[in-house]
């Protein structure tokens, strides 16, 4: 069978999932091994070499390492799979064994790399979903889903002024900034000092700036980072500072107690700036989500859920840019002011 390792779709899929640290069960192990078995010896070795050089040995992974336990788990799974099918290539095997011998203690922070066009967006994050009393030191599923959605639905973002609440590590914003249709300006915000610090670090890491301050411009977008706590300020200060076209947020609906303040902030920002809002929610608890939607609906806002077809049914251009787990659904809501006509 003829297949060039440089353009092999399976290898590309493995690289993408590896660099974003996807769960090991989400890799197509059987398909990969079936493919390798079908190749002649030389081509099979070439594919294995390519797999290693585009994952564990990729220069960006060497410079900014992934979680060691993940890398080791990936190699063990690969080694077991090739051994089971009797595929032995000495040089690749030796490389695998030497990589497996490296220490595997996870540090508190590690990197993930999200491929977009001809580059990666690199995010440094905590190994824990909850660290230093915040959820914000980890890149969450709804943030990735909102980035994918925004890249597909570019008319919402292209050349627009975007304000993000609870930005966490900044992946959604960076993805939009490095898309083909970047926003005019992007304001990241969060309230937790450790999150703000890592968010700034991630923006600098992905820009061409080598200074210690967040650059004013990244790619073609004007950028700023705000220390903004929606539970304290409710929004009036912001609407005096700037006029966004769009207010977005991802994975900020999880704490029942903070929902009223979050809704008040969204409402104040929408009323005072005439912007609209897009909020991406991972559906973990229906009750929490219902509470959020009821609070918004009862405050003079109109909420509609985006009804996109599933990824498998979309044409190739509509496929997700970034992989994320699909175990829990993510819903995207558009929030606007109730128009005068609909009140009558
Ligand atoms: C689950 S994380 C989601 C982070 C990011 N949007 C993502 O999708 O990866 C929730 C974020 O909301 C921030 N947050 C929580 N309460 C907040 C508040 N009152 N004001 C501003 N940000 C808040 C947290 O610091 C955290 O970064």
Look at ligand 1, atom 14, and give the residue with the nearest C-alpha: 166
Residue 25 to residue 333: CA distance in whole angstroms: 30
User: Are 94 and 113 spatial neighbours (Cβ–Cβ below 8 Å)?
Assistant: no
Examine the pLDDT at 204 and tell me if it is beyond 90.
yes
Look at ligand 1, atom 11, and give the residue with the nearest C-alpha: 166
pLDDT tens, 147-185?
999 999 999 999 999 999 999 999 999 999 999 999 999
Return the H-helix or E-strand segment holding 289. helix 286-297
Residue 192 to residue 136: CA distance in whole angstroms: 8
At residue 80, the pLDDT reads 86
Tell me the best of 21, 135, 136 to mutate to test the pocket of ligand 1, counting ligand atoms within 8 Å of each CB and taking the most.
136
Ligand 1 atom closest to the CA of 146, numbered from 1: 8
What is the whole-number distance in angstroms between the Cα of residue 320 and the centre of ligand 1?
23
Examine the pLDDT at 145 and tell me if it is beyond 80.
yes
Q: Which residue has the tokens 């899929």?
A: 13
Ligand 1 atom closest to the CA of 134, numbered from 1: 25
Tell me the average pLDDT across 46-71: 92
What is the whole-number distance in angstroms between the Cα of residue 330 and the centre of ligand 1?
16
Q: State what percent of residues in the chain have pLDDT above 70.
A: 89
pLDDT tens, 186-197?
999 999 999 999
What is the whole-number distance in angstroms between the Cα of residue 115 and the centre of ligand 1?
24
Examine the pLDDT at 341 and tell me if it is beyond 50.
no
pLDDT tens, 264-314?
899 888 988 889 999 999 998 999 999 999 988 777 789 999 887 676 666
What is the whole-number distance in angstroms between the Cα of residue 247 and the centre of ligand 1?
14
Ligand 1 atom closest to the CA of 140, numbered from 1: 9
What is the whole-number distance in angstroms between the Cα of residue 319 and the centre of ligand 1?
27
Ligand 1 atom closest to the CA of 139, numbered from 1: 9
What is the whole-number distance in angstroms between the Cα of residue 155 and the centre of ligand 1?
25
**Token digits of residue 33:** 């091994």
Look at ligand 1, atom 13, and give the residue with the nearest C-alpha: 166
- Map residue 278 onto helix, strand or coil: strand
Say which residues have a Cβ less than 8 Å from residue 297's Cβ, sequence separation at least 6: 303
Examine the pLDDT at 258 and tell me if it is beyond 70.
yes
Q: Which residues contact ligand 1 via a Cβ below 6 A?
A: 134-136, 139-140, 142-143, 166-168, 190-192, 195, 228-231, 250-252, 258
Tell me the average pLDDT across 236-244: 74
The separation between CA 56 and the C-alpha centre of its own chain, rounded to angstroms, equals 21
Burial class of residue 124 in the structure, from the number of CB atoms within 10 Å of its CB (0-12 exposed, 13-18 middle, 19+ buried): middle
DSSP per position, 126-183: ESSSSBTTBSTTS--HHHHHHHHHHHHSGGGTTT-EEEEES-TT-HHHHHHHTSSS--
Categorize the per-residue pLDDT at 343 as very low, low, confident or very high, splitting at 50, 70 and 90: very low
pLDDT tens, 109-138?
899 999 998 899 999 998 776 666 677 688
Residue 74 to residue 219: CA distance in whole angstroms: 33
What is the whole-number distance in angstroms between the Cα of residue 38 and the centre of ligand 1?
48
What is the whole-number distance in angstroms between the Cα of residue 24 and the centre of ligand 1?
27
Ligand 1 atom closest to the CA of 136, numbered from 1: 27
Residue 153 to residue 307: CA distance in whole angstroms: 12
Residue 123 to residue 107: CA distance in whole angstroms: 15
Phi then psi dihedrals of residue 281, to 5 deg: -125, 130
The separation between CA 36 and the C-alpha centre of its own chain, rounded to angstroms, equals 31
Ligand 1 atom closest to the CA of 164, numbered from 1: 6
Ligand 1 atom closest to the CA of 141, numbered from 1: 8
Q: State what percent of residues in the chain have pLDDT above 90.
A: 59
């Amino acid at each position: 069978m003829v297949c060039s390792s440089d353009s092999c779709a399976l290898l590309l899929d493995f690289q993408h999932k590896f660099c974003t640290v996807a769960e090991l069960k989400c890799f197509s192990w059987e398909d990969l091994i079936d493919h390798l078995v079908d190749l002649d010896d030389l081509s099979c070795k070439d594919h294995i070499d390519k797999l290693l050089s585009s994952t564990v040995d990729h220069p960006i992974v060497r410079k900014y390492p992934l979680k060691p336990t993940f890398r080791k788990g990936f190699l063990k799974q690969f080694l077991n799979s090739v051994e089971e099918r009797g595929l032995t290539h000495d040089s690749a095997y030796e490389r695998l064994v030497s990589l497996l011998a490296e220490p595997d203690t996870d540090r508190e922070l590690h990197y993930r790399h999200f491929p977009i066009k001809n580059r990666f967006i690199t995010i440094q994050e905590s190994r824990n979903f909850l660290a230093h009393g915040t959820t914000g030191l980890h890149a969450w599923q709804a943030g990735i889903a909102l980035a994918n959605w925004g890249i597909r639905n570019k008319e919402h973002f292209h050349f627009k002024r975007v304000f993000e609440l609870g930005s966490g590590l900044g992946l959604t914003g960076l993805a939009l900034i490095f898309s083909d249709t970047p926003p005019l300006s992007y304001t990241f915000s969060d309230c937790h000092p450790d999150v703000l610090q890592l968010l700034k670090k991630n923006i600098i890491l992905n820009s061409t700036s080598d200074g210690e301050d967040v650059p004013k411009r990244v790619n073609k977008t004007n950028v700023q980072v705000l220390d903004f706590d929606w539970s304290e300020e409710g929004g009036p200060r912001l609407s005096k500072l700037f006029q966004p076209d769009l207010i977005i947020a991802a994975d900020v609906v999880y704490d029942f107690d903070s929902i009223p303040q979050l809704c008040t902030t969204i409402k104040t920002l929408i009323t005072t700036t005439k912007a609209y809002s897009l909020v991406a929610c991972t559906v973990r608890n229906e009750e929490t989500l219902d509470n959020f939607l009821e609070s918004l609906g009862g405050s003079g806002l109109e909420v509609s859920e985006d009804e996109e077809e599933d990824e498998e049914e979309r044409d190739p251009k509509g496929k997700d840019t970034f992989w994320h787990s699909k175990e829990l659904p993510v819903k995207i809501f558009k929030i606007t002011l109730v128009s005068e006509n609909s009140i009558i």
